[in-house]
Structure 1
Amino acid sequence: MPDSADFTPVEEHARIAEAKGFDHVETWVFDLDNTLYPASSRLFDQIDAKITAYVMARTGLDGMSAKALQKFYYHRHGTTLRGLMAEDGLDPDDFLAYVHDIDHSVLVPAPELAVAIARLPGRRFVLTNGSRRHAESVIARLGVAELFEDVFDIAAAGYVPKPEAEAYRLFLDLHGIEPAKAAMFEDLSKNLVIPHALGMRTVLVTPLGGEPEGLERLETPADAEPAPYVDHVTDDLPGFLAGLALVAAE
């Protein structure tokens, strides 16, 4: 049997993917922020800063106090948005319009990602805690918009965010997806707990080089031991997907 050093990077991804059992997957589900695009773009940092500014304007708190409240809401409610809705009667549309009014031009087309996604057999979706408008801006900039059947955003989930089971249930039911024949790609391992429990294959997408993330993306370090509900970890999403395509073509 050839040593792993004898494989090209894509072939190595394919070898691992085959061992992990992706051959049955018919539906491919992708998180958006820091998953489809690299964290090094710092796009989500813009959103994080806008969230803090929104909390400051709404509450009258200084920056440090607003950041602390933002962190409290995030950990207690899953997102700052849900915390503000639950505890301050927030209009979610106003919040989402403000925090996603950012410079998407920092993203560049990702032709390797587009080719890899296009070669995946079956259906493809984006499942995000962000807004549809933001998601559509991102996938358009990346050049992958036409490759996805739909974007399921936080409004479609009734403003219930991942990792709540209800968000996944609504998504799966709406699109008639059988979780045992689906795979989920995420940059936050906690958002893979429910997908794994439902029978989905799970892939944690980590930042290349361990770039820092915004407040609302804080998670365990990229070099931490993978949790049992994470089937695979990659810092090269296009390469990993290209490997999956090789397995599917066999």
Structure 2
Amino acid sequence: MRTENDTPGVGTDEPLAAAFRHVDTWVFDLDNTLYPAHSNLFDQVNVRIRDYVQRLLGLEADAAQEIQKDYYRRYGTTLRGLMMEHEISSDDFLEYVHDIDHSHLDPDPRLGAAIAALPGRRFIMTNGARSHAEKVAGRLGITEHFEDIFDIVAADLLPKPHQETYERFFEKHGIRPASAAMFEDLARNLSVPSELGMRTVLVVPEGTREVFRESWELEGRTAPHIEFVTDHLATFLERIAPASA
């Protein structure tokens, strides 16, 4: 498994920066990628999702959480599962679960500078709502560095890791996967990008792996489609920046 301190590219001995020299489009997941899980942001969303499921189905909290986890794992998002099995309104769900306190996030000027230094275009691609992504980017101070946010509504409510969602994203923005890189906190969401030719980077901040994540979310970190793993996104991006020189 490669880490931010490893320099080889896939199957080669080339420096880390050289492995990204062909990349002109940079795609970042949002939650638990652009900020670490211990920021207590996505945990708030999880609680809101559980509460929504609990009220919708008239369940106890533990039972609602089990359904939430099951749908998340099987469908990619709990929303998708609720739509498929209970025909809920996506608008109501998205508005409710993202009504959280974003003040836990502090500006991250180092991350902003590292993103700004990347050559080419930059996007956020999230299974969440655009309004949530805008608030997160605003709190981090990185909004201006991104060309657009591709959210679950833009994806026609079909979440990652469905291949159709990536293809919709690529078509909308005229992206060539072979010259793009994807940064994600879930290994399964990097499988299709890898198949389509993208550079793949798994972002798993140290100290949050076992405490904040479900066991299945940690699977696949050593899978062939994971080219690089980093426990600090800003550091990793800083090491890529020389590729533009």
- Could you say whether these structures have the same fold, taking a TM-score greater than 0.5 normalized by the shorter chain as the test? yes
Q: Which residue number corresponds to residue 50 of structure 2?
A: 52
Confirm whether residue 161 of structure 1 aligns to residue 159 of structure 2.
yes
Q: Which residue number corresponds to residue 237 of structure 1?
A: 233
3-state SS in 1 of match to 2:217? coil
- Determine the C-alpha separation between the residues in 2 that align with 1:12 and 1:229: 17
Aligned AA (2:178): A
Shift of 1:12: 6.5
Q: Which residue number corresponds to residue 210 of structure 1?
A: 208
- Determine the C-alpha separation between the residues in 2 that align with 1:154 and 1:38: 21
Aligned AA (1:108): D
Aligned AA (2:236): F
Q: Which residue number corresponds to residue 226 of structure 1?
A: 222
Gaps of 5+ in 1: 1-8
TM-score by length of 1: 0.89
Confirm whether residue 111 of structure 1 aligns to residue 109 of structure 2.
yes
- Determine the C-alpha separation between the residues in 1 that align with 2:181 and 2:15: 15
Contact kept in structure 2, 1:13 and 1:239, CA below 8 Å: no
Q: Map 1:2-151 onto structure 2 (within 5 A).
A: 16-18=15-17, 21-151=19-149
Q: Which residue number corresponds to residue 242 of structure 2?
A: 246
Contact kept in structure 1, 2:202 and 2:226, CA below 8 Å: yes
Change (3 A) 1:16 1:53: farther
- Determine the C-alpha separation between the residues in 2 that align with 1:247 and 1:131: 32
Contact kept in structure 1, 2:183 and 2:202, CA below 8 Å: yes
Aligned AA (1:80): T
Change (3 A) 1:121 1:11: farther
Aligned AA (1:49): V
Change (3 A) 1:114 1:10: farther
Change (3 A) 1:62 1:214: farther
Aligned AA (1:36): L
Shift of 1:16: 4.5
- Determine the C-alpha separation between the residues in 1 that align with 2:69 and 2:20: 36
Aligned AA (1:139): A
- Determine the C-alpha separation between the residues in 1 that align with 2:25 and 2:89: 33
- Determine the C-alpha separation between the residues in 2 that align with 1:160 and 1:81: 10
Runs of 4+ in 1 over 3 A off after TM superposition: 9-16
Aligned AA (1:247): A
Contact kept in structure 2, 1:28 and 1:182, CA below 8 Å: yes
Between 89-98 and 66-75, the greater mean CA deviation after superposition: 66-75
Contact kept in structure 2, 1:127 and 1:151, CA below 8 Å: yes
Between 74-83 and 189-198, the greater mean CA deviation after superposition: 74-83
1:203-224 Cα shifts (integer Å, max 9, x gaps): 0000222343366x95126xx7
- Determine the C-alpha separation between the residues in 2 that align with 1:95 and 1:110: 29
- Determine the C-alpha separation between the residues in 1 that align with 2:243 and 2:207: 27
Q: Which residue number corresponds to residue 196 of structure 2?
A: 198
Gaps of 5+ in 2: none
- Number of corresponding residues: 237
Contact kept in structure 2, 1:206 and 1:235, CA below 8 Å: yes
Q: Percent same amino acid at aligned positions?
A: 54
CA RMSD of aligned residues (A): 2.1
- Determine the C-alpha separation between the residues in 2 that align with 1:236 and 1:152: 23
- Determine the C-alpha separation between the residues in 2 that align with 1:39 and 1:65: 24
